Amino acid sequence: MDKKMEDNTGDGTGKRILGVGLVCLDIINVCDHYPSEDEKLRALSQTRQRGGNAANAVTVLAMLGWKCEFFGTLSHGHESKFVLDELARYEIEHGNCVYHDNCGFPTSCAIISQKSGSRTIIHSRNNLPELNVADFQKLDLKYYGWIHFEGRNNVDEILKMSELVRSYNTLVSQDKRIIISVEIERQRKEHLKLLSIGDVVFLSKDFAKFCGYKSAEDAVKDFHGKLSRSATVVCAWGTAGADGISPSGTHVHSDSYPPEKVIDTLGAGDTFIAGVINCLKRGGTLKDALIAGCKLAGKKCGMLGFDGVCE
């Protein structure tokens, strides 16, 4: 790790929050309504922004005052330069990212319906490889206090990465141990393996419904009972708010805090996760964290993009 990164650490503890997962280019079309098949529709606006669940989460955390780093794979080219410039704008470290040649850059095309506030996403990985454990082994873990993993296709590699963190934690004192959180969003059975790695496990509504649950409360209670180790389990359920259960089994709930008008829900889940992590890192209770996450996500839904969401 270079000297610049060594000097740029932490928040008073000398530790950063590391987001591991995707950064991508988002092309966002705001339309009056979602188009029907074969319809030719003029967009009300079209913008480009940096996206990706892990990158979005650390962006919001950086705006909340934390020193953050993004770790993922990148290709060479103007798309990569654009997203790196965006990360730099929020002072998010990215010097450990892994570059690959002869591939494209992950790109999402989003359609935001002004009428309903819905967002429809078409994503292409563009042949860019995912991270592997060999990439992760190059990190110096002493610089991190919290590592957030975004559940992606590389499930077995994420499991190996988390084992490296667990092994590190056995070698240091309690106050130097790294907290692990994991987001399980996608409707894939193999992502059930990721339940075991987190001190804090974030379940998406889509994943919970995929597993047969009808509410966030049912999901967190049942998943908590299946974990082999104590962890906090959190599930956001849109307008129904969010539920969580602590390692001791205490269940808490937060209502949602919707804006007067829903404008853009793109990244609302990532914003929720950032709000929860921020509150927990500042010593808040799980109940406080759910409320903070729901309030922040609600504010995000009432605005385009992320700038100003933490003001």
Mean pLDDT within 244-250: 94
Measured torsion, CA atoms of residues 11, 52, 164, 68, in degrees rounded to the nearest 10: -10
Mean pLDDT within 71-95: 95
Q: Mark residue 130 as left, alpha or beta (left: phi above 0; alpha: psi -120 to 50; beta: remaining).
A: beta
Instruction: Specify the pLDDT at position 12.
Output: 56
Instruction: Specify the pLDDT at position 226.
Output: 84
pLDDT at 221 over 90: yes
Instruction: Specify the pLDDT at position 13.
Output: 67
pLDDT over 70 for what percent of the chain?
95
Mean pLDDT within 162-175: 96
Instruction: Specify the pLDDT at position 116.
Output: 85
The whole-angstrom distance between residue 231's C-alpha and the CA centroid of its chain comes to 18
**Of 66, 60, 69, the residue nearest 92 (C-alpha):** 69
Is pLDDT larger for residue 262 or for residue 290? 290
Alpha-carbon gap, residue 259 to 298, rounded angstroms: 6
Both structure tokens of 302: 């009432």
Mean pLDDT within 55-73: 97
Mean pLDDT within 181-209: 95
Mean pLDDT within 71-99: 96
pLDDT at 7 over 70: no
Instruction: Specify the pLDDT at position 6.
Output: 37
16-20, 109-113, 294-298: segment of lowest average pLDDT? 109-113
Strand partners, 271: none
pLDDT confidence tier of residue 55, bands split at 50, 70 and 90: very high
In degrees, to the nearest 5, what angle opens at C-alpha 204 toward C-alphas 203 and 208?
80
DSSP for the chain reads: --HHHHHS--SSSS-EEEEES--EEEEEEEESSPPPTT-----SEEEEEEE-HHHHHHHHHHHTT--EEEE-EEESSHHHHHHHHHHHHTT-B-TTPEEESS----EEEEEEETTT--EEEEEE-TTPPPP-HHHHTTS-GGGEEEEEEEP-S-HHHHHHHHHHHHHHHTTS-GGGPPEEEEEE-S--GGGGGGGGT-SEEEEPHHHHHHTT-SSHHHHHHHHHHH-SS--EEEEE-GGG-EEEE-TT--EEEE-----SS----TTHHHHHHHHHHHHHHTT--HHHHHHHHHHHHHHHHTSSSSTTTT-
Alpha-carbon gap, residue 143 to 18, rounded angstroms: 9
pLDDT confidence tier of residue 38, bands split at 50, 70 and 90: very high
Instruction: Specify the pLDDT at position 115.
Output: 87
pLDDT at 1 over 50: no
pLDDT confidence tier of residue 8, bands split at 50, 70 and 90: very low
- Contact call for residues 270 and 57 (beta carbons, < 8 A): yes
> Domains in the chain and their CATH numbers?
3-22+53-72+129-301 (3.40.1190.20)
Mean pLDDT within 107-136: 93
**Of 123, 78, 77, the residue nearest 102 (C-alpha):** 77
| Side-chain half-sphere CA neighbours of 44 within 13 A | 12
pTM of the model: 0.93
Mean pLDDT within 31-39: 94
Instruction: Specify the pLDDT at position 18.
Output: 98
pLDDT confidence tier of residue 264, bands split at 50, 70 and 90: confident
Q: What is the mean pLDDT of the chain?
A: 93
Mean pLDDT within 14-22: 94
| 89 C-beta neighbours (distance < 10 Å), count | 12
The whole-angstrom distance between residue 108's C-alpha and the CA centroid of its chain comes to 16
CA R_g for the chain: 19
The residues, any chain, with a CB within 8 Å of residue 154's CB and separated by 6 or more, are 130, 131, 132
Mean pLDDT within 172-189: 95
Instruction: Specify the pLDDT at position 119.
Output: 85
Alpha-carbon gap, residue 155 to 190, rounded angstroms: 7
